[in-house]
Amino acid sequence: MSCWTKHIQEREWEKVIVRKRLGVTAIALLLTAATLIGCTSNNANNSAAKGNASVAPSASAAPSATTAAASEGFKEAPMLQELVKAGTLPPVEQRLPAKGDVMVEPVYESIGKYGGEWRNPWNGPDDKWGIEMITEEPLFRFKQDGTGIEPNVAKSYEVNADSTEYIIHLREGMKWSDGVPFTADDVIFYWEHMLVPETFGKALYDCYYSVNPDTGEKERAEVTKVDDYAVKVTFKHPSVQFLERLAIDNKWFFAPAHYYKTILPEFIGEDKALEVAKQYGFADTKTLGQWTGYYYWLYPQRPTLRPWVAKNDANSDRFIMERNPYYFKTDAEGQQLPYIDRIVLDKMQDPSHKLVETLAGDVDIAQFDFKDYTVLKENEKKGDYTVIPWQTPSWSSTGVQLNQTTEDPKLRTLFQDIRFRQALSIAVDRNEVSEIITSGVGTPAQASVPKGLPGYQEGWDKQWTDYDVAGAEKLFDEIGLKWDSNHKYRTFADGSNLSLLIYEEKGTDDEKFIELLRKYYDQAGIKTELKIVDQGSYFDLKYANKIPVAVKSVSVVDVSLRPDELMPLRVITPWFGHYGLYTSSGGKEGVKPEGDVALLLQDWDKLKAAKSKGEISQLGNDIIKLHQKNQWIIGYTAPTPSLVVVKNNVKNVPALVNADEYRGIGFAHPAQFYIE
């Protein structure tokens, strides 16, 4: 039994919520630290040798998925049986991969039955990632039991001893949703015509580079075809985490060549491609390539490998995704998945609309933040649903980030002074924040790696957590902050006004927490202002380095696999501001990192060139310790769960971990959900 599975069995979430005073340690056990660093064996590095290569377990050996054939033939949904009878669709045996290559998806509770519609709220194409995660089928995916990655669209893989060569085997006879065979040519096409030339507007992902340990330079991999159902990825230097990084960076390492050859200018010419772009509603071919290449699941024209495919315009008030008749998975009894016929996405105006519809019982499955826990629980019986808490890898449930590169030079100096961050931490009564904001579930704690995740540091969650206004004022004095003439607010040493401007993104519902912060900061003499902006404006302000203070935490499973929020590699997280721009622009723009921020980047460069998972683990731990030392991210309460609300007639929905790395509800393998 894996350690994660054991944690799941030991955890009884409803008891944790009821006995809310149990705190963060009790509710953090499900987190997946061992996911990638040794909970059980580590795929490629612990596999059996084959010549000069070590051969990873095939999908048939994976505990959470099987590649096999059903013993009594295959079955299909009634709606597809009708199409077969009408002669408009081939028999199910001809639509699935070769018998030995069909993927058998385990079910959570019971073998399901066909039919029904999954009513899912969304706010239109801007909400594209929600439905993407639900329907995603990556080449490799993370296992639910926390023991690493497993083949998904891929059938198996091999990796050599020094992790410089990977051979990825595909499923013979697998087909796109339009019935065209899916082969290695679709991987090679994606690499040569979409990834490398950045057809969909994204730079080549880091997972395709290895790092020269002597020079620190990144060098691109080579991708070649082995045969119709195998490709080889060759690195110049060891790439120990390639498959894990692939499962995060570029989950769909493939594209339907036959489709893109009919729309891209490279194949049909600029003029004809422009005509196609206008048919799709775009003004130019570049936008056509970006949206059909990166957000492709929104377009009915684009073939896919997903369990459900788009059937109409995603801009409609009701967007429908219908079962893929060529989907490559079955259950253990040979029933082709998915069980549910279609997903119906009704456009909802705002989060409150989604909540009202859910309370009324008009939503089948939906995710909510913990702030809605009370009202959702109170209406469970009336709405005929169950609230299932999912753990998160967040460092805190309430927190503040001070932009270390903020434009105002006096504020920048202040924010970079660790004493100021410590003072803001101890100036707040965490017990009150816990009770008012999290109903006591998020216990008083510092932003830190939760127990069970890579980088966990004993005692970190208690750092700077004692409520001590006098101590905060002493630190302000040491820094040189003065009192104004009324002895109400602090000023800079030169007597100029000092004020913290907190930006809040509209719709995040952080006002109550911010008002608590303002009360405590005010009592300590720090004037605080609030400005609420829409999502687009917030994004623009962040990239322009104009957000001095933000109320945000971070959510990271493993810094070595998803460094974005902890490492200034690009502009993404408010605390490091334009340090990220400096890195992403190669020093041409932004603010040059110094001190411990520069050390973060040095450790990251070493990690990328590491030759073993042990070395990666140590460097990841070093990065985390720099965060512990500096506390760039200030937290006030421990993480709270996210909530998955499920109608009582919807089955096979487990309680797991809600992390972007794992793809939200998609981690539960929705193709095996069914409606009773």
Q: Which of 666, 671, 103, 65 is nearest to 338 (CA)?
A: 671
**Residues above pLDDT 70, as percent of the chain:** 89
Q: Per-residue pLDDT for 550 more than 70?
A: yes
On whether the CB atoms of residues 304 and 254 are closer than 8 A, the answer is no
- Across all residues in the chain, what is the average pLDDT? 89
Mean pLDDT value of segment 609-622: 94
Q: What is the pLDDT of residue 50?
A: 33
Question: Among 5-19, 301-315, 564-578, 592-606, whose mean pLDDT is lowest?
Answer: 5-19
Mean pLDDT value of segment 260-268: 96
Q: What is the pLDDT of residue 334?
A: 97
Q: What is the pLDDT of residue 213?
A: 87
Mean pLDDT value of segment 320-331: 98
**Domain limits, the chain:** 1-30, 36-61+138-256, 68-136+306-392+641-676, 398-637
Residue 215 pLDDT grade (very low, low, confident, very high; cuts 50, 70, 90): confident
* CA 291/CA 282 separation, integer angstroms: 9
Q: Does domain 36-61+138-256 have CATH number 3.90.76.10?
A: yes
Residue 72 pLDDT grade (very low, low, confident, very high; cuts 50, 70, 90): low
* CA 251/CA 244 separation, integer angstroms: 10
Q: Per-residue pLDDT for 571 more than 80?
A: yes
Mean pLDDT value of segment 284-298: 94
Q: What is the pLDDT of residue 6?
A: 37
Using alpha carbons, list the distances in angstroms from residue 493 to 484, 486, 499, 523: 11, 16, 13, 19
Q: What is the pLDDT of residue 474?
A: 97
**Helix, strand, coil in percent for the chain, rounding step 5:** 35, 20, 45
Question: Which superfamily does 398-637 belong to?
Answer: Dipeptide-binding Protein; Domain 3 (3.10.105.10)
Q: What is the pLDDT of residue 200?
A: 87
Residue 98 CA neighbour count, 13 Å, CB half: 10
Q: What is the pLDDT of residue 536?
A: 87
pLDDT in tens, 407-442: 999 999 999 999 999 999 999 999 999 999 999 999
Helix (H/G/I), strand (E/B), else coil: 346: strand
Mean pLDDT value of segment 390-419: 96
Residue 275 pLDDT grade (very low, low, confident, very high; cuts 50, 70, 90): very high
Fold type of domain 68-136+306-392+641-676: D-Maltodextrin-Binding Protein; domain 2 (3.40.190)
On whether the CB atoms of residues 569 and 560 are closer than 8 A, the answer is no
Question: Among 21-35, 203-217, 243-257, 460-474, whose mean pLDDT is lowest?
Answer: 21-35
User: The tokens 């497993």 sit on which residue?
Assistant: 150
Q: What is the pLDDT of residue 73?
A: 87
Mean pLDDT value of segment 79-105: 96
Q: Per-residue pLDDT for 165 more than 70?
A: yes
Question: Among 132-141, 229-238, 509-518, whose mean pLDDT is lowest?
Answer: 509-518
Q: Which of 497, 506, 499, 516 is nearest to 539 (CA)?
A: 506
Residue 38 pLDDT grade (very low, low, confident, very high; cuts 50, 70, 90): very low
Question: Among 69-73, 413-417, 521-525, whose mean pLDDT is lowest?
Answer: 69-73
**Residues above pLDDT 90, as percent of the chain:** 81
* CA 277/CA 302 separation, integer angstroms: 13
Q: What is the pLDDT of residue 506?
A: 84
User: The tokens 């965490």 sit on which residue?
Assistant: 430
Reading the block at residue 285, the tokens are 């071919």
Q: What is the pLDDT of residue 2?
A: 35
**At CB < 8 A and 24+ separation, what contacts does 590-593 make?**
590/405, 591/405, 593/568
Reading the block at residue 350, the tokens are 């705002």
Question: Among 25-29, 337-341, 342-346, 624-628, whose mean pLDDT is lowest?
Answer: 25-29
* CA 591/CA 587 separation, integer angstroms: 8
pLDDT in tens, 305-325: 999 999 999 999 999 999 999
Q: What is the pLDDT of residue 263?
A: 96
Q: Per-residue pLDDT for 202 more than 90?
A: no
Mean pLDDT value of segment 57-86: 66
Q: Per-residue pLDDT for 149 more than 60?
A: yes
Q: What is the pLDDT of residue 66?
A: 52
Q: Which of 348, 408, 397, 394 is nearest to 373 (CA)?
A: 397
Q: Per-residue pLDDT for 60 more than 60?
A: no
